[in-house]
Protein backbone atom coordinates (compact mmCIF):
# COMPACT_ATOMS: atom_id res chain seq x y z
CA UNK A 1 0.00 0.00 0.00
CA UNK A 2 1.23 3.49 -0.84
CA UNK A 3 1.48 5.56 2.32
CA UNK A 4 3.51 8.53 1.09
CA UNK A 5 3.35 10.58 -2.10
CA UNK A 6 6.39 12.79 -2.71
CA UNK A 7 6.37 15.52 -5.34
CA UNK A 8 9.68 16.43 -6.98
CA UNK A 9 10.31 19.43 -9.21
CA UNK A 10 13.66 18.43 -10.72
CA UNK A 11 15.52 15.20 -11.57
CA UNK A 12 17.98 15.89 -8.74
CA UNK A 13 15.15 16.33 -6.25
CA UNK A 14 13.55 13.07 -7.41
CA UNK A 15 16.82 11.14 -7.09
CA UNK A 16 17.56 12.63 -3.66
CA UNK A 17 14.05 11.70 -2.50
CA UNK A 18 14.59 8.08 -3.59
CA UNK A 19 17.89 7.94 -1.70
CA UNK A 20 16.51 9.66 1.39
CA UNK A 21 13.39 7.55 1.75
CA UNK A 22 15.22 4.29 1.02
CA UNK A 23 13.79 0.84 0.39
CA UNK A 24 10.22 0.68 -0.83
CA UNK A 25 10.41 4.09 -2.53
CA UNK A 26 10.01 4.20 -6.32
CA UNK A 27 9.49 6.76 -9.08
CA UNK A 28 5.85 7.14 -10.12
CA UNK A 29 5.26 7.84 -13.83
CA UNK A 30 1.89 6.89 -15.35
CA UNK A 31 1.24 4.44 -12.52
CA UNK A 32 -0.35 1.77 -14.75
CA UNK A 33 1.98 -0.91 -13.37
CA UNK A 34 2.45 0.50 -9.88
CA UNK A 35 -1.32 0.66 -9.30
CA UNK A 36 -2.11 -2.60 -11.13
CA UNK A 37 -3.73 -5.31 -9.03
CA UNK A 38 -0.95 -7.86 -8.52
CA UNK A 39 1.68 -5.34 -9.63
CA UNK A 40 5.27 -6.46 -10.12
CA UNK A 41 6.38 -3.27 -8.30
CA UNK A 42 6.16 -3.41 -4.55
CA UNK A 43 6.44 -0.02 -2.86
CA UNK A 44 5.14 2.01 0.06
CA UNK A 45 6.33 5.46 -1.05
CA UNK A 46 6.32 7.05 -4.49
CA UNK A 47 8.18 10.01 -5.94
CA UNK A 48 6.06 11.59 -8.65
CA UNK A 49 7.86 12.51 -11.88
CA UNK A 50 4.97 14.67 -13.06
CA UNK A 51 6.62 18.00 -12.14
CA UNK A 52 9.91 17.27 -13.94
CA UNK A 53 8.87 18.52 -17.37
CA UNK A 54 9.97 15.28 -19.08
CA UNK A 55 7.00 15.16 -21.43
CA UNK A 56 8.34 16.86 -24.56
CA UNK A 57 9.08 15.37 -27.99
CA UNK A 58 11.67 17.28 -30.00
CA UNK A 59 13.52 16.88 -33.28
CA UNK A 60 16.82 18.34 -34.46
CA UNK A 61 18.67 17.31 -37.61
CA UNK A 62 16.60 14.13 -37.84
CA UNK A 63 17.33 13.13 -34.24
CA UNK A 64 14.16 12.65 -32.22
CA UNK A 65 14.26 12.95 -28.44
CA UNK A 66 11.29 11.70 -26.44
CA UNK A 67 10.93 12.63 -22.78
CA UNK A 68 10.50 9.63 -20.51
CA UNK A 69 7.14 10.94 -19.23
CA UNK A 70 5.64 11.05 -22.72
CA UNK A 71 2.61 8.77 -22.76
CA UNK A 72 1.97 6.17 -25.43
CA UNK A 73 -0.94 8.22 -26.79
CA UNK A 74 1.03 11.47 -26.83
CA UNK A 75 3.76 9.72 -28.86
CA UNK A 76 1.16 8.23 -31.22
CA UNK A 77 -0.28 11.70 -31.79
CA UNK A 78 3.10 13.26 -32.59
CA UNK A 79 4.23 13.75 -36.18
CA UNK A 80 7.85 13.51 -34.98
CA UNK A 81 7.68 9.92 -33.77
CA UNK A 82 8.78 7.39 -36.44
CA UNK A 83 6.15 4.99 -37.75
CA UNK A 84 8.08 1.90 -36.59
CA UNK A 85 7.74 3.08 -32.98
CA UNK A 86 4.06 3.93 -33.46
CA UNK A 87 3.53 0.34 -34.57
CA UNK A 88 4.78 -0.93 -31.20
CA UNK A 89 2.99 1.79 -29.21
CA UNK A 90 -0.24 0.41 -30.67
CA UNK A 91 0.54 -3.01 -29.15
CA UNK A 92 -0.96 -1.45 -26.03
CA UNK A 93 -4.51 -1.79 -27.33
CA UNK A 94 -6.29 0.00 -24.47
CA UNK A 95 -6.60 3.69 -25.21
CA UNK A 96 -7.29 4.39 -21.53
CA UNK A 97 -3.96 2.79 -20.63
CA UNK A 98 -2.18 4.48 -23.56
CA UNK A 99 -3.27 7.81 -22.07
CA UNK A 100 -1.46 7.01 -18.82
CA UNK A 101 1.39 4.60 -19.59
CA UNK A 102 4.72 6.33 -20.20
CA UNK A 103 7.60 5.28 -22.40
CA UNK A 104 10.08 5.56 -19.50
CA UNK A 105 7.93 3.29 -17.32
CA UNK A 106 7.73 0.71 -20.07
CA UNK A 107 11.50 0.62 -20.56
CA UNK A 108 12.15 0.35 -16.82
CA UNK A 109 9.83 -2.63 -16.45
CA UNK A 110 11.66 -4.61 -19.21
CA UNK A 111 8.85 -7.17 -19.22
CA UNK A 112 8.97 -10.48 -21.09
CA UNK A 113 6.00 -9.17 -23.10
CA UNK A 114 7.38 -5.65 -23.39
CA UNK A 115 5.56 -3.48 -25.89
CA UNK A 116 8.49 -1.22 -26.71
CA UNK A 117 11.83 -2.65 -25.68
CA UNK A 118 12.38 -5.01 -28.65
CA UNK A 119 11.68 -2.14 -31.05
CA UNK A 120 13.85 0.38 -29.20
CA UNK A 121 16.75 -2.10 -29.07
CA UNK A 122 16.36 -2.90 -32.79
CA UNK A 123 16.33 0.86 -33.48
CA UNK A 124 19.57 1.28 -31.50
CA UNK A 125 17.91 3.93 -29.36
CA UNK A 126 19.88 5.67 -26.65
CA UNK A 127 18.79 6.64 -23.15
CA UNK A 128 19.57 9.78 -21.23
CA UNK A 129 19.87 8.85 -17.57
CA UNK A 130 20.07 11.04 -14.49
CA UNK A 131 21.99 9.81 -11.45
CA UNK A 132 23.68 10.97 -8.29
CA UNK A 133 27.42 10.29 -8.46
CA UNK A 134 29.47 8.91 -5.58
CA UNK A 135 30.49 12.44 -4.60
CA UNK A 136 26.83 13.41 -4.31
CA UNK A 137 26.68 15.56 -7.43
CA UNK A 138 24.03 15.21 -10.14
CA UNK A 139 25.20 13.67 -13.42
CA UNK A 140 23.60 12.76 -16.73
CA UNK A 141 24.81 10.13 -19.18
CA UNK A 142 23.75 9.06 -22.64
CA UNK A 143 24.00 5.28 -23.10
CA UNK A 144 22.90 2.73 -25.73
CA UNK A 145 19.65 1.06 -24.71
CA UNK A 146 21.27 -2.36 -25.26
CA UNK A 147 23.73 -1.50 -22.45
CA UNK A 148 20.84 -0.56 -20.18
CA UNK A 149 19.19 -3.88 -20.99
CA UNK A 150 22.35 -6.00 -20.62
CA UNK A 151 23.41 -4.44 -17.31
CA UNK A 152 19.97 -3.85 -15.85
CA UNK A 153 21.11 -4.25 -12.21
CA UNK A 154 23.72 -1.55 -12.64
CA UNK A 155 21.05 1.00 -13.56
CA UNK A 156 18.63 0.23 -10.73
CA UNK A 157 17.71 3.59 -9.24
CA UNK A 158 18.74 5.59 -12.33
CA UNK A 159 16.14 8.03 -13.58
CA UNK A 160 15.36 7.75 -17.30
CA UNK A 161 15.07 11.31 -18.58
CA UNK A 162 14.66 10.69 -22.30
CA UNK A 163 14.95 8.34 -25.25
CA UNK A 164 16.99 9.38 -28.27
CA UNK A 165 16.32 8.02 -31.76
CA UNK A 166 19.36 9.10 -33.72
CA UNK A 167 19.28 6.68 -36.67
CA UNK A 168 16.59 8.11 -38.96
CA UNK A 169 17.66 5.99 -41.94
CA UNK A 170 17.60 2.66 -40.14
CA UNK A 171 15.19 -0.10 -41.17
CA UNK A 172 13.12 -1.16 -38.14
CA UNK A 173 10.04 -3.38 -38.07
CA UNK A 174 8.29 -5.43 -35.38
CA UNK A 175 5.68 -8.14 -34.88
CA UNK A 176 3.66 -9.15 -31.85
CA UNK A 177 1.63 -12.31 -31.38
CA UNK A 178 -1.11 -12.54 -28.76
CA UNK A 179 -4.46 -14.28 -28.47
CA UNK A 180 -6.35 -10.98 -28.61
CA UNK A 181 -5.20 -7.38 -28.92
CA UNK A 182 -5.70 -6.97 -25.15
CA UNK A 183 -3.95 -10.24 -24.14
CA UNK A 184 -0.31 -10.47 -23.09
CA UNK A 185 2.01 -11.10 -26.03
CA UNK A 186 3.41 -14.62 -26.46
CA UNK A 187 6.19 -13.26 -28.68
CA UNK A 188 7.14 -9.72 -29.64
CA UNK A 189 10.10 -9.43 -31.97
CA UNK A 190 11.84 -6.59 -33.75
CA UNK A 191 14.39 -6.48 -36.53
CA UNK A 192 16.62 -3.47 -37.18
CA UNK A 193 19.44 -2.93 -39.66
CA UNK A 194 21.46 -0.27 -41.39
CA UNK A 195 20.69 -0.83 -45.07
CA UNK A 196 22.32 2.32 -46.43
CA UNK A 197 25.09 0.37 -48.19
CA UNK A 198 22.66 -1.97 -49.98
CA UNK A 199 23.30 -4.81 -47.52
CA UNK A 200 22.10 -5.36 -43.95
CA UNK A 201 24.69 -4.21 -41.41
CA UNK A 202 24.67 -3.39 -37.75
CA UNK A 203 21.76 -5.79 -37.29
CA UNK A 204 19.80 -5.93 -34.05
CA UNK A 205 17.10 -8.55 -33.52
CA UNK A 206 15.42 -8.51 -30.15
CA UNK A 207 12.60 -10.71 -28.86
CA UNK A 208 10.38 -10.60 -25.80
CA UNK A 209 9.18 -14.15 -25.20
CA UNK A 210 6.59 -14.66 -22.47
CA UNK A 211 8.00 -16.82 -19.70
CA UNK A 212 11.52 -16.77 -21.15
CA UNK A 213 12.52 -13.11 -21.07
CA UNK A 214 13.78 -10.40 -23.33
CA UNK A 215 16.84 -11.22 -25.40
CA UNK A 216 18.78 -10.38 -28.53
CA UNK A 217 19.11 -13.14 -31.13
CA UNK A 218 22.86 -12.75 -31.47
CA UNK A 219 23.47 -15.75 -33.73
CA UNK A 220 20.85 -14.61 -36.23
CA UNK A 221 22.13 -11.01 -36.08
CA UNK A 222 25.57 -12.35 -36.99
CA UNK A 223 24.15 -14.63 -39.71
CA UNK A 224 22.27 -11.75 -41.37
CA UNK A 225 25.20 -9.32 -41.07
CA UNK A 226 27.62 -11.78 -42.64
CA UNK A 227 25.20 -12.73 -45.44
CA UNK A 228 25.28 -16.33 -44.22
CA UNK A 229 21.68 -17.21 -45.10
CA UNK A 230 20.55 -18.27 -48.56
CA UNK A 231 17.00 -17.19 -47.74
CA UNK A 232 15.11 -15.57 -44.82
CA UNK A 233 13.72 -19.02 -43.96
CA UNK A 234 17.26 -20.16 -43.08
CA UNK A 235 17.32 -17.45 -40.41
CA UNK A 236 14.10 -18.91 -38.99
CA UNK A 237 15.74 -22.25 -38.26
CA UNK A 238 18.37 -20.58 -36.10
CA UNK A 239 16.04 -18.17 -34.28
CA UNK A 240 15.50 -19.19 -30.69
CA UNK A 241 17.68 -22.30 -30.68
CA UNK A 242 19.20 -21.07 -27.41
CA UNK A 243 15.92 -19.93 -25.79
CA UNK A 244 14.20 -22.06 -23.15
CA UNK A 245 10.58 -21.65 -24.28
CA UNK A 246 7.84 -22.49 -21.78
CA UNK A 247 4.17 -23.47 -22.00
CA UNK A 248 1.86 -20.89 -20.47
CA UNK A 249 -1.46 -19.13 -20.98
CA UNK A 250 -0.15 -17.29 -24.07
CA UNK A 251 0.75 -20.51 -25.90
CA UNK A 252 2.84 -23.68 -25.90
CA UNK A 253 6.64 -23.72 -26.05
CA UNK A 254 6.64 -25.26 -29.55
CA UNK A 255 4.18 -22.61 -30.80
CA UNK A 256 6.34 -19.76 -29.47
CA UNK A 257 9.46 -21.26 -31.02
CA UNK A 258 7.64 -21.59 -34.36
CA UNK A 259 6.17 -18.07 -34.43
CA UNK A 260 9.47 -16.53 -33.40
CA UNK A 261 11.16 -18.25 -36.36
CA UNK A 262 8.50 -17.27 -38.89
CA UNK A 263 8.39 -13.70 -37.58
CA UNK A 264 12.16 -13.34 -37.90
CA UNK A 265 12.10 -14.63 -41.48
CA UNK A 266 9.19 -12.32 -42.40
CA UNK A 267 10.92 -9.30 -40.88
CA UNK A 268 14.16 -10.20 -42.65
CA UNK A 269 12.22 -10.49 -45.91
CA UNK A 270 10.71 -7.02 -45.33
CA UNK A 271 14.20 -5.69 -44.72
CA UNK A 272 15.39 -7.17 -48.04
CA UNK A 273 12.33 -5.62 -49.69
CA UNK A 274 13.15 -2.19 -48.24
CA UNK A 275 16.71 -2.59 -49.47
CA UNK A 276 15.53 -3.36 -52.98
CA UNK A 277 13.31 -0.30 -52.91
CA UNK A 278 16.29 1.68 -51.64
CA UNK A 279 14.48 3.02 -48.60
CA UNK A 280 14.42 2.51 -44.85
CA UNK A 281 11.16 2.12 -42.96
C1 LIG B 1 -3.88 -4.65 -17.66
C2 LIG B 1 -2.44 -4.31 -17.93
C3 LIG B 1 -1.76 -4.97 -18.95
C4 LIG B 1 -0.43 -4.64 -19.24
N5 LIG B 1 0.21 -5.30 -20.26
C6 LIG B 1 1.47 -4.97 -20.59
C7 LIG B 1 2.15 -5.62 -21.69
O8 LIG B 1 1.61 -6.51 -22.36
N9 LIG B 1 3.41 -5.21 -21.98
C10 LIG B 1 4.04 -4.24 -21.27
O11 LIG B 1 5.19 -3.91 -21.61
N12 LIG B 1 3.45 -3.62 -20.24
C13 LIG B 1 2.19 -3.96 -19.87
N14 LIG B 1 1.57 -3.33 -18.81
C15 LIG B 1 2.36 -2.46 -17.93
C16 LIG B 1 2.31 -0.97 -18.23
O17 LIG B 1 1.03 -0.52 -18.63
C18 LIG B 1 3.33 -0.45 -19.24
O19 LIG B 1 4.54 -1.18 -19.19
C20 LIG B 1 3.58 1.03 -19.01
O21 LIG B 1 4.32 1.55 -20.10
C22 LIG B 1 4.33 1.36 -17.73
O23 LIG B 1 4.49 2.78 -17.67
P24 LIG B 1 3.94 3.65 -16.45
O25 LIG B 1 4.27 5.05 -16.76
O26 LIG B 1 2.52 3.37 -16.18
O27 LIG B 1 4.86 3.08 -15.27
P28 LIG B 1 4.63 3.13 -13.69
O29 LIG B 1 3.57 2.15 -13.29
O30 LIG B 1 4.47 4.53 -13.20
O31 LIG B 1 6.07 2.62 -13.22
C32 LIG B 1 6.54 1.33 -13.56
C33 LIG B 1 7.97 1.17 -13.02
O34 LIG B 1 8.86 2.00 -13.77
C35 LIG B 1 9.57 2.88 -12.89
N36 LIG B 1 9.72 4.14 -13.66
C37 LIG B 1 8.75 4.82 -14.29
N38 LIG B 1 9.27 5.86 -14.97
C39 LIG B 1 10.61 5.83 -14.74
C40 LIG B 1 11.69 6.65 -15.18
N41 LIG B 1 11.50 7.72 -15.99
N42 LIG B 1 12.93 6.34 -14.78
C43 LIG B 1 13.15 5.26 -13.97
N44 LIG B 1 12.17 4.46 -13.51
C45 LIG B 1 10.91 4.74 -13.90
C46 LIG B 1 8.68 3.00 -11.66
O47 LIG B 1 9.42 3.36 -10.52
C48 LIG B 1 8.12 1.59 -11.58
O49 LIG B 1 9.07 0.74 -10.96
C50 LIG B 1 0.23 -3.65 -18.48
C51 LIG B 1 -0.45 -2.99 -17.45
C52 LIG B 1 -1.77 -3.30 -17.17
C53 LIG B 1 -2.49 -2.56 -16.09
CATH value at residue 208: 3.30.390.50
Residue 76, ligand 1, Cβ within 6 A: no
194 CA distance to ligand 1 middle (Å):
30
Q: What distance in Å separates the CA atoms of residue 280 and residue 258, rounded to the nearest whole number?
A: 27
- Residue 163 or 240, more confident: 163
* Gap between the Cα atoms of 219 and 223, Å rounded: 6
Burial class (CB in 10 A: 0-12, 13-18, 19+), 245: buried
- Residue ending a domain, among 165, 191, 207, is 165
Check pocket membership of 131 for ligand 1, CB cut-off 6 A: no
SS3 call for 201? strand
pLDDT, tens digit (0-9, with 9 covering 90-100), for 120-131: 999 999 999 999
**Residue owning the nearest CA to atom 35 of ligand 1:** 105
pLDDT value for 278: 64
pLDDT score, position 58:
98
pLDDT at 44: 95
Q: Quick check: helix, strand or coil at residue 247?
A: coil
Ligand 1 within 6 A of CB of 67: no
Task: Indicate if 191 and 159 belong to the same structural domain.
Answer: no
pLDDT, residue 276, reads 85
Q: How many angstroms is it from 232 CA to the middle of ligand 1?
A: 34
Same domain, 38 and 96: no
**Cα separation, 204 vs 88, whole angstroms:** 16
Is there a single domain that holds both residue 204 and residue 255?
A: yes
Each residue of 147-194: pLDDT tens digit? Answer: 999 999 999 999 999 999 999 999 999 999 999 999 999 999 999 999
Segment (H or E) for 47: strand 45-48
Whether residue 179 sits in one domain with residue 273: yes
* 25 shares a domain with 118: no
**Number of domains the chain is built from:** 3
Residue from 13, 76, 95, 101 whose mutation best tests the ligand 1 pocket (most atoms within 8 A of CB): 101
Ligand 1 binding pocket includes 27 (Cβ within 6 Å): yes
Vertex 142 angle, CA 60 and 267, to 5°:
75
Q: Are residues 110 and 79 in the same domain?
A: yes
The verdict on 45 and 68 lying in the same domain is no
Q: 208 with 255, same domain?
A: yes
- Atom 5 in ligand 1: residue holding the nearest Cα: 184
Domain endpoint, select from 104, 132, 165: 165
Domain that holds residue 31: 4-50
Cβ(11) – ligand 1 distance below 6 Å: no
Q: Atom 8 in ligand 1: which residue has the minimum CA distance?
A: 184
Question: What does the pLDDT look like over 74-126, one tens digit per residue?
Answer: 999 999 999 999 999 999 999 999 999 999 999 999 999 999 999 999 999 99
Indicate whether residue 34 lines ligand 1 (CB < 6 A): yes
CATH number of the domain to which 9 belongs: 3.30.43
pLDDT at 108: 97
Residue 160, ligand 1, Cβ within 6 A: yes
Lowest mean pLDDT among 39-48, 73-82, 131-140, 264-273: 131-140
Domain end call among 140, 165, 190: 165
What is the CATH classification number for the domain harbouring 123?
3.30.465.10
Same domain, 45 and 73: no
Mean pLDDT over 65-78 rounds to: 98
Contact 36 CB / ligand 1 (< 6 Å):
yes
The tens digit of pLDDT for each residue in 4-38 reads: 999 999 999 999 999 999 899 999 999 999 999 99
Task: Specify the pLDDT at position 177.
Answer: 97
113 lines ligand 1 (CB under 6 A): yes
- What do you get for the CA distance between the two ends of the chain, in Å? 44
Residues 39 and 70 in one domain: no
Q: Note the pLDDT tens digit of each residue in 193-238.
A: 999 999 999 999 999 999 999 999 999 999 999 999 999 999 999 9
Burial class (CB in 10 A: 0-12, 13-18, 19+), 224: buried
Examine the domain organization and report whether 215 and 237 are in the same domain.
yes
Q: Which of 27, 28, 99, 103 to mutate to test the pocket of ligand 1 (most atoms within 8 A of CB)?
A: 27
pLDDT of residue 279: 57
Beta carbon of 177 within 6 Å of any ligand 1 atom: no
For residues 100 and 158, membership in a common domain is answered with: yes
Range in 62-66, 162-166, 273-277 with the lowest mean pLDDT:
273-277
For residue 101 and ligand 1, the question of a CB distance below 6 A is answered with yes
Q: What is the pLDDT of residue 280?
A: 53
Amino acid sequence: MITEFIQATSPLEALVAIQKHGEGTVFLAGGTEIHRLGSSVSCSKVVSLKGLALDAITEKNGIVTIGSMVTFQQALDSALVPSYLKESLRYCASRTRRNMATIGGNITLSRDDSYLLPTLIAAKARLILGDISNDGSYAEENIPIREYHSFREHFTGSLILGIVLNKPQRFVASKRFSRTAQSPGAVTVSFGADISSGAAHDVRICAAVKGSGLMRLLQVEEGVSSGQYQSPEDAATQAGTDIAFVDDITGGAAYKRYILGTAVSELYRSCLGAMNKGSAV
